[in-house]
Chains A and B, each alone.
Chain A
Amino acid sequence: MAFSLSVNGKSMTADVDPAKPLLWVLREDLGVLGPKYGCGMAQCGACTVHIDGRPARSCITPVSSVGNAKVVTIEAMSADPVGQKVQAAWTDLDVAQCGYCQPGQIMSATALIKSKPQPTDADIDQAMNGNLCRCATYIRIRKAIKRASGQKEV
């Protein structure tokens, strides 16, 4: 079935099974490789994208459920004012180890700061707990969110 999707401000079409998760449509059909596969069952957050501004696990989002919603991926963050700040904090603080989880972390962090411009530690725990980092870069992720939101890093 043909679906017309808005991805990173562009209109794209994919002729796929309606049940196919958005993650795989992005990665296989649309060549958008930033969102990563980590579990396929909403346990790790590696596949996080924004759907109408809200963080969503694209691995469990059937493409047919997206409709006209705007899908935004890590690829668009360099052109997003908050995304830029988050990316810059991530590089400045050398957050990543292997880096595989980080597109998802950055997408969750950007959505968090957009909804709560000065997130507290509790806000961070709540918003970021769905994003696993096997390399356990959590200490720097917390600092980078504080930095990107203009708060003291502790």
Chain B
Amino acid sequence: MKVQASRRQFLISGAAAGGGLMIGLSMTTRGSAQTAAAAGKVNAYVTIAPDGAVTIMAKNPDMGQGIKTSLVMIIADELDADWSRVKAVQAPSDPATFGRQSSGGSRSIATEWMPMRQVGAAGRALLIAAAAKDWGVQPAECTTSKSVVYHRASNRSATYGALAAKAAALPAPAAGSIRLKEPKDFTIIGKPVAQLDAPAIGRGEPIFSIDTQVPGMLYAHYVKSPVWGSKCLSADLAAVKAVKGVKDAFIVEGKSTQMGGLLPGVAIVADSWWTAQQARAKLNAKWDIDPARLNSTAAFKAQASQCQASAPLRTERKDGDTAAALKQAGVKTVSASYAYPWLAHASLEPQTCTANVTGAKAELWVSTQNPDAARQLVARTLGLKGQDITVHVMRAGGAFGRKGQADPAVEAAWISQKVGAPVKLIASREDDMKFDFYRPAGFHTLKGAVDAQGNLTAWEDHFVTMAEGTAIANQASMSPAEFPAGFVPNFRYDLSTVQSVVPIGSLRAPRANALGFVIQSFIDELAHAGGQDPVAFRLKLLAAKKDGDYDAVRMAACVRKAAEMSGWGRKLPARHGLGTAFHYSHAGYVSEVIEVEVETDGTVAVKKVWAAVDVGRQIVNPSGAINQVEGSILDGISCALHQRITIDKGACVQGHFGDNPLMRISEAPEVEVAFILSDNPPTGLGEPGLPPALPALSNAIFAATGKRLRELPIDKAQLRA
């Protein structure tokens, strides 16, 4: 095997097991890449078999965002492979070969676009070199198409399959010599394709973590305290064990009182998951509940009101003089308070992992966004070595940020070690909802001023958010650069906190999924107060940029496009309204318009959504891209209309799709998506479509009814005619 360096990555090529060519990329140091290569211990990105079959590894987990397909498309295009012969395989967790393998933050396309192109292009260069050597011609005279190398001058051609073994004997191409395609020459990138797993999904094949079957496998429930992190004082283990089919039941001390580690609990292991669930009824567990942990939504609200009525904890940003600007003669001012609730992820496949711990070794089949995090947590908690843990990255049945956490992996592994058998752990729907890492609730009190010319002259936000001790909780912060900072001469952002022990995590478009609603709804209020058209007001505001990284030109183009698509300004029937909103998040610029009809009983019927999206110059798979935008918009609307987690006595109240409902098909509007291909590097689409949907909806409701809803989820009782 040969190793060539390209910055921090090392290209590796050589013979594939079973003949043919393998091409890999190592993220480790040159020395270890050589050692690994010499030992034949590299995971190839690309394998070309003598029969021409091309197998390409997708390095990052797929939870429905389509990365397994788009990463493979990128490699295949630069390789110039015959797409009909390309097979995608989910890469196992192997950071030494694949580098960062987590999916989240809409980062995969942004970070993998160039390295994946290089892998494909290196393979193509090797195959050309093999053909050129054979034919005694210059590589530059050769061309490729659909897995064939051509030398047109001499009318010769050879398939990749036929060349694979010869290419394997050549040195890996020098890093600097790899030529990437011109985008105009892409044949796979930019063409809509169904995701590669679509047929297997349609046939109901067992591709999810929950479908794992291991001989001798038992099933487990892990029962935790409703008040997160409390130790189990006692439980009626004998009664549980007496249930037919139950194999074991035991109290677990836990290794952490923090969510994310192995929490204390009781394991129930049976020959059937359903049996273990039935046995839970007999458990009668008592928990050592710390009264200091009895958070509640009502108390958070009361504390937030107190904060809002008092001086802030601190001022995060101050530009100009808002107090003076708000008192300026001739300005129109608005004051308003906004609030949004805790939210759960509710992936349809609940948290699950199958683990088999045997001696010093462990195997995990896990539904995860971050396979290495699962490995590390299991290693740490069970006292195993990371390298002795094999992590099979299964297709995740939805994740939305939740499956970056490794709790099911560590619970399954702990139980497997204890019972000495493979164990499939599945969180019940109720457990999945009650032991989530929630999107934090937050409260904003805003003041703003618009002058007679329709300029936003002042913006004040007193933000009350969740803190854990002195630190702002994860994903509960707001950046001092958050829009409209840098666009308003007088800007002030004050911060106060309330203490929370509620487990908090990333939910699709973290922070943006809440802040977009507040900011873009309040901008709408200011537009109306100033007698301005909401689109014109936004464009004027975007044109007023003073500082910061925010690309106001890209956003303005999205605002104009979405407005144009929607026929903004057209006459609508009574109780219909158009609302617009934009939000920048996860490197994506998105503006949306929503049309609603508010029925006389207050029911909000979303008629249609238009979205203009700028995520750079290249959409890798337009089919997947549109699916992501449609899905994230509907997700946002679903949150705005329905979703809310309530905390009471330190626990999550909701536990199923009845008390925390999701949108259903009868509520799903049509969505029209336009991509604006600005000359910027391509970035991801798992998240940025979501944040504008909530305020576009609330703004449309205002346009339809004149009622401004400032608290989520929307209260339809307020919208009755």
Question: Cβ of B192 < 8 Å from any Cβ of A?
Answer: yes
Is B624 within 8 A of A94, CB to CB? yes
Q: Mark B335-349, 1 if CB is under 8 A from A, else 0.
A: 000000000001111
Is B348 within 8 A of A129, CB to CB? no
Query: B199 — which chain A residues lie within 8 A by C-beta?
Result: 87, 91
Is B206 within 8 A of A33, CB to CB? yes
CA A97 to CA B349, docked complex, whole Å = 13
Question: Cβ of A54 < 8 Å from any Cβ of B?
Answer: no
Query: A74 — which chain B residues lie within 8 A by C-beta?
Result: 203-204
Is A43 within 8 A of B656, CB to CB? yes
Given contacts A20-B272, A135-B398, contact A99 B64 (CB under 8 A): yes
Given contacts A102-B201, A138-B665, A141-B665, contact A94 B219 (CB under 8 A): no
Question: Cβ of B56 < 8 Å from any Cβ of A?
Answer: no
Query: A33 — which chain B residues lie within 8 A by C-beta?
Result: 204, 206, 211, 213
For the complex formed, measure the closest distance between the CB of A81 and the CB atoms of chain B, giving whole angstroms: 15
Q: Which of A120-148 contact B (CB under 8 A)?
A: 124-126, 128-142
Question: Cβ of A151 < 8 Å from any Cβ of B?
Answer: no
Query: A95 — which chain B residues lie within 8 A by C-beta?
Result: 198
Q: Which of B565-573, B631-639, B700-708 contacts A (4 or more CB under 8 A)?
A: B631-639
Total number of A residues with any Cβ neighbor in B under 8 Å: 60
Pick the residue among B201, B244, B275, B428 that contacts A99 (CB under 8 A): B201
Q: Which of B13-21, B80-88, B384-392, B666-674 contacts A (4 or more CB under 8 A)?
A: B666-674
Pick the residue among A73, A102, A125 that contacts B666 (CB under 8 A): A125
Is B349 within 8 A of A100, CB to CB? yes
Pick the residue among B63, B65, B628, B634 that contacts A138 (CB under 8 A): B634
Query: B297 — which chain A residues lie within 8 A by C-beta?
Result: none
Pick the residue among B213, B349, B627, B666 that contacts A94 (CB under 8 A): B627
Question: Cβ of A52 < 8 Å from any Cβ of B?
Answer: no
Is B64 within 8 A of A135, CB to CB? yes
Question: Cβ of B75 < 8 Å from any Cβ of A?
Answer: no
Query: B198 — which chain A residues lie within 8 A by C-beta?
Result: 90-91, 94-96, 99
Is A20 within 8 A of B274, CB to CB? yes
Is A102 within 8 A of B631, CB to CB? no
CA A102 to CA B627, docked complex, whole Å = 15
From B635, B662, B668, residue with most partner A Cβ within 10 Å: B668
Is A40 within 8 A of B429, CB to CB? yes
Q: Give B635's nearest chain A residue, CB to CB.
A: A136
Given contacts A91-B199, A97-B64, A99-B64, contact A37 B668 (CB under 8 A): no
Question: Cβ of B66 < 8 Å from any Cβ of A?
Answer: yes
CA A5 to CA B100, docked complex, whole Å = 47
Is B349 within 8 A of A136, CB to CB? no
Question: Cβ of B208 < 8 Å from any Cβ of A?
Answer: yes
Query: A91 — which chain B residues lie within 8 A by C-beta?
Result: 194, 198-199, 202
Pick the residue among B348, B395, B624, B666 that contacts A134 (CB under 8 A): B348
For the complex formed, measure the closest distance between the CB of B164 and the CB atoms of chain A, giving whole angstroms: 30
Q: Give A99's nearest chain B residue, CB to CB.
A: B201
CA A114 to CA B332, docked complex, whole Å = 61
Is A38 within 8 A of B348, CB to CB? yes
Query: A130 — which chain B residues lie within 8 A by C-beta?
Result: 664
Question: Cβ of B517 < 8 Å from any Cβ of A?
Answer: no
Is B634 within 8 A of A132, CB to CB? no
Question: Cβ of A111 < 8 Å from any Cβ of B?
Answer: no
Number of A-B contacts (CB under 8 A): 184
Q: Give B424's nearest chain A residue, CB to CB.
A: A28
For the complex formed, measure the closest distance between the CB of B227 and the CB atoms of chain A, giving whole angstroms: 24
Question: Cβ of B210 < 8 Å from any Cβ of A?
Answer: yes
Q: Mark A1-42, 1 if CB is under 8 A from B, else 0.
A: 000000000000000110111001000110101111111110
CA A43 to CA B655, docked complex, whole Å = 12
Q: Mark B184-210, 1 if CB is under 8 A from A, else 0.
A: 000000001111011101111111101
Given contacts A38-B429, A96-B201, A99-B395, contact A132 B627 (CB under 8 A): no
For the complex formed, measure the closest distance between the CB of B109 and the CB atoms of chain A, giving whole angstroms: 16
Pick the residue among B63, B657, B665, B668 that contacts A44 (CB under 8 A): B657
Query: A38 — which chain B residues lie within 8 A by C-beta?
Result: 348-350, 429
CA A137 to CA B398, docked complex, whole Å = 12
Question: Cβ of A77 < 8 Å from any Cβ of B?
Answer: yes
Say what secondary structure dominates the interface of chain B.
loop
Is A87 within 8 A of B426, CB to CB? no
Pick the residue among A19, A43, A99 that contacts B657 (CB under 8 A): A43
Question: Cβ of A71 < 8 Å from any Cβ of B?
Answer: no
Question: Cβ of B537 < 8 Å from any Cβ of A?
Answer: no
Query: B671 — which chain A residues lie within 8 A by C-beta?
Result: 139
Pick the residue among B429, B630, B635 that contacts A39 (CB under 8 A): B429
Question: Cβ of B216 < 8 Å from any Cβ of A?
Answer: no
Query: B195 — which chain A residues lie within 8 A by C-beta?
Result: 94, 96
Pick the residue among A17, A46, A106, A140 that contacts B348 (CB under 8 A): A46
Question: Cβ of B169 < 8 Å from any Cβ of A?
Answer: no
For the complex formed, measure the closest distance between the CB of B237 and the CB atoms of chain A, giving whole angstroms: 21
CA A73 to CA B204, docked complex, whole Å = 9
Question: Cβ of A113 < 8 Å from any Cβ of B?
Answer: no
Q: Give A34's nearest chain B residue, CB to CB.
A: B204
Question: Cβ of B623 < 8 Å from any Cβ of A?
Answer: yes
Question: Cβ of B183 < 8 Å from any Cβ of A?
Answer: no
From B64, B207, B273, residue with most partner A Cβ within 10 Å: B64
Pick the residue among A16, A43, A103, A129 that contacts B665 (CB under 8 A): A129
CA A46 to CA B208, docked complex, whole Å = 13
Query: B657 — which chain A residues lie within 8 A by C-beta?
Result: 39, 43-44, 132
Given contacts A44-B657, A98-B63, A101-B348, contact A87 B202 (CB under 8 A): yes
CA A129 to CA B428, docked complex, whole Å = 22
Q: Mark B48-85, 1 if CB is under 8 A from A, else 0.
A: 00000000000000111110000000000000000000
For the complex formed, measure the closest distance between the CB of A146 and the CB atoms of chain B, giving whole angstroms: 13
Query: B634 — which chain A residues lie within 8 A by C-beta?
Result: 136, 138-139
Question: Cβ of A78 < 8 Å from any Cβ of B?
Answer: yes
CA A106 to CA B662, docked complex, whole Å = 19
CA A15 to CA B442, docked complex, whole Å = 52
CA A106 to CA B628, docked complex, whole Å = 20
Q: Give B217's nearest chain A residue, CB to CB.
A: A28
Query: B207 — which chain A residues lie within 8 A by C-beta?
Result: 99
CA A43 to CA B34, docked complex, whole Å = 54
Q: Mark B232-260, 1 if CB is under 8 A from A, else 0.
A: 00000000000011000000000000000
Is A96 within 8 A of B670, CB to CB? no
Query: A97 — which chain B residues lie within 8 A by C-beta?
Result: 64-66, 398, 627-628, 631
Extra 5 A-B pairs, beta carbons < 8 Å, given A41-B656, A43-B656: A87-B202, A100-B347, A101-B348, A136-B630, A137-B627
Between A and B, 17 residue pairs with Cβ closer than 8 Å are A17-B244, A19-B278, A24-B274, A28-B274, A34-B203, A36-B349, A38-B349, A40-B277, A40-B429, A100-B347, A100-B348, A100-B398, A103-B201, A125-B666, A128-B665, A134-B346, A135-B64
Where the two chains meet, the residues of B that have a C-beta atom closer than 8 Å to any C-beta of A are: 62-66, 192-195, 197-199, 201-208, 210-211, 213, 219, 244-245, 272-275, 277-278, 346-350, 395-400, 426, 428-429, 623-624, 627-628, 630-631, 634-635, 638, 656-658, 662-666, 668, 670-671
Which 8 A-B residue pairs are closest in the complex by CB-CB distance?
A34-B204, A100-B397, A98-B64, A74-B204, A97-B64, A136-B634, A99-B201, A138-B668
